[in-house]
Amino acid sequence: MSLPTLPTLSLSELARRFQWPAPPVARNPGWAAWNTEVDDALILRYLYQNHQPRRHLEFGTWQGFGTCLCLESCAATVWTLNLPDGEAKADGSWAYGHRVTDESSAPAGAVSVNFGQDEAGPRTYHRTDAASYIGRIYREKQLGHRVCQVYCDSRAWDTSAYTADFFDSVLVDGGHSPEVVISDSRKALSVLRPGGLILWHDVCPDPAIIASSTAVQGVMSALESLWPELERQCSALFWIDPSYILLGIKK
């Protein structure tokens, strides 16, 4: 697959294709100002509100923002996977973490490291994709009773307990290396019902974005390898333009 031939649809065209209500007006701020938690979130909410999954699967929980998008948009129960100890970069450093100056804002049991003090105060950093940070948002919103949180490397996740039509929708947004994306995509399709939606995040065919984002590079590389399989298993595949979302419909 060459990147310029990636099939595309605007959100308005997608609405007409599925005969869904008109979508909300997107900001379309341009890639430099794109905010996933605003711009992609609007699209994901729209998809969940209109597809109305009963059982939804996510690869990658982090703090649970994406999980809440689904929970608040429909009546689904959500299964979501995350590494219990967080994701590491190639050099072994934390992939997700932030400095916290107010310890009272951290959930009990957070993984933290203190590097002393500077003019801003204690240099304490919390690992935001491990331990008690995982799914903290859906828990704080009292939505945990609708979530099945799975703690494991997704490559080791055993799908044998799920039927081939168990899930109505899947979001692939966990590890971004090609190996992990390929594994997650194959597992997702193996448990997704015909007519179900499979969504990949961090997909963008813009050459400048690919060059600047290792996450997009990994996902695009995986999709290029998988494309013949995806075409066999999906009745439609298209990138929602503009967004970081690829959507597929399982045959």
Give this prediction's pTM.
0.95
C-alpha dihedral sign at 35, 242, 212, 61: positive
Position 23 scores a pLDDT of 97
Closest CA to 79 of 94, 60, 65, 92: 60
Other C-beta atoms lying within 10 Å of the C-beta of residue 175: 23
Higher-pLDDT residue of 126 and 105 is 126
Residue 94 is given by DSSP the state B
Positions of CATH 3.40.50.150 in the chain: 3-84+134-250
**pLDDT tens digits along 11-56:** 999 999 999 999 999 899 999 999 999 999 999 999 999 999 999 9
Is 66 in contact with 138 (CB distance < 8 Å)?
Answer: no
CA distances 228 to 47, 92, 189, Å, are 25, 34, 14
Q: At 166, list the tokens.
A: 């168990």
In degrees and rounded to multiples of 5, residue 201 shows phi and psi of -100, 160
**pLDDT tens digits along 63-111:** 999 999 999 999 999 999 999 999 988 888 899 999 887 888 889 999 9
CA distance 204 to 216: 7
Please list the helix, strand and coil fractions of the chain in percent, rounded to the nearest 5, in that order. Answer: 35, 25, 35
Identify the band that residue 4 occupies on the pLDDT scale cut at 50, 70 and 90: very low
Domain 3-84+134-250 sits in CATH at 3.40.50.150
Higher-pLDDT residue of 115 and 190 is 190
Position 121 scores a pLDDT of 80
